Structure 1
Amino acid sequence: MAVDIETMRDLGKWERPVHRHASLADFLATSTLADGIHAIAYCGYYLELNLYRRASRAMLIFFSAALSSRNEHLKLPVFSGASALKATDASVLMVNDPGLYLDGEIRLAWYAGAAGMPLQSDLGRVLRHAQEVLSIERMILYGASGGGFAALFYAPFLRNAIAVPCNPQIDLLAYSRHLLSKYLKAAYGYQGAPAAFIDAPLPWRPTVKLDASHLGDTRIVYLQNALDKTHLERHFQPFLKDFGIDRGKALIEVHSGHQVSICSDGWGEGHRAAPGSFVYPLLHQLTQADGWEKLPEFVPELHAQTTNPIRQVSLTFDQNGFHVRVSLADTHAGGTLTVGLLREGVEIETLQIRDGEPGQFTSQATAGEYCAQARVERPPRSWKERASALLRKKRMYDEMKSRIVLVKAP
Structure 2
Amino acid sequence: MKQKAHPKFSYNTVDEFIQNFTFRNGVHTIWLGNQQSLALLVQGEAFYTQSSNESLLVVFTAAQFDRTDKEPPFFSGVGLARSLELPLLAIADPTLSLSDTLPIAWYAGSQYCPNLPQKLSTLITHVSALTRLKLLIVGGSGAGFASLVQAMCLDEEATICVWNPQTDIMNYSQTYVDMYYETAFENHPLPDGHMHKVDTAGIKGEKRIVYLQNISDWHTQKHCLPFFKCFTLNKYGRSTFIDSAGKVAFHFGDWGKGHVVPPYLLLEALIKTLAQSHNAALASMFLESQGTKAQPYLFEKGKGLFPFRIETSLEDRVLSLQCSFLEGEEDPFQYAFYLMDGKERVDTKWYTAENHVRFTLPPKIRQIKVVVFVKDQLETVISKQFTIKG
TM-score (norm 2): 0.68
1:121 pairs with 101, 118, 123, which one? 118
Mapped partners of 1:290, 1:111: distance in 2: 24
**In the alignment, does 2:64 pair up with 1:67?**
yes
Q: Residues 304 and 79 of structure 1: is their aligned pair in 2 closer, same or farther, counting only changes over 3 Å?
A: farther
**In the alignment, does 2:55 pair up with 1:51?**
no
CA drift of 1:134 comes to: 1.2
Match of residue 87 from structure 1: 83
Q: Which amino acid aligns with 2:160?
A: A
CA drift of 1:251 comes to: 2.3
Q: Which amino acid aligns with 2:267?
A: V
**In the alignment, does 2:7 pair up with 1:17?**
yes
Match of residue 369 from structure 1: none
Q: Residues 201 and 100 of structure 1: is their aligned pair in 2 closer, same or farther, counting only changes over 3 Å?
A: closer
* Worse-superposed segment, 46-55 or 241-250: 241-250
Q: Residues 116 and 296 of structure 1: is their aligned pair in 2 closer, same or farther, counting only changes over 3 Å?
A: closer
Q: Is the 8 A contact 2:73 2:97 kept in 1?
A: no
For residues 33-83 of structure 1, the C-alpha deviation after alignment (integer angstroms, 9 at most, x for no partner) is 212211111232111111113132311111111112223x11111111122
2:97 pairs with 73, 97, 101, which one? 101
Q: Is the 8 A contact 1:141 1:155 kept in 2?
A: no
Structure 2 residues without counterparts, runs of 5 or longer:
296-327, 331-390
Match of residue 168 from structure 1: 165
Q: Is the 8 A contact 2:238 2:288 kept in 1?
A: no
The share of aligned pairs that are identical, in percent, is: 27
Match of residue 260 from structure 1: 249
Q: Is the 8 A contact 1:162 1:220 kept in 2?
A: yes
Aligned partner of residue 138 in structure 2, secondary structure:
strand
Structure 1 residues without counterparts, runs of 5 or longer:
1-9, 191-199, 309-329, 333-410
For residues 92-141 of structure 1, the C-alpha deviation after alignment (integer angstroms, 9 at most, x for no partner) is 111100010121221000001111302111111111111111111x2111
Q: Which amino acid aligns with 1:251?
A: S
Match of residue 200 from structure 2: 212
| Count of paired positions | 288
TM-score (norm 1): 0.65
Match of residue 334 from structure 2: none
Question: Hey, which bits of structure 1, 4+ residues long, moved more than 6 A?
Answer: 246-249
Q: Is the 8 A contact 2:57 2:87 kept in 1?
A: yes
Q: Residues 205 and 101 of structure 1: is their aligned pair in 2 closer, same or farther, counting only changes over 3 Å?
A: farther
CA drift of 1:159 comes to: 2.6
Could you say which structure has the larger radius of gyration? 2
Q: Residues 297 and 243 of structure 1: is their aligned pair in 2 closer, same or farther, counting only changes over 3 Å?
A: closer
Mapped partners of 1:202, 1:146: distance in 2: 20
Q: 1:154-165 maps to which residues of 2 (within 5 A)?
A: 154-156=150-152, 157=154, 159-165=156-162
2:230 pairs with 233, 242, 251, which one? 242
Mapped partners of 1:68, 1:231: distance in 2: 18
CA drift of 1:298 comes to: 1.7
2:261 pairs with 265, 273, 292, which one? 273
2:183 pairs with 183, 186, 203, which one? 186
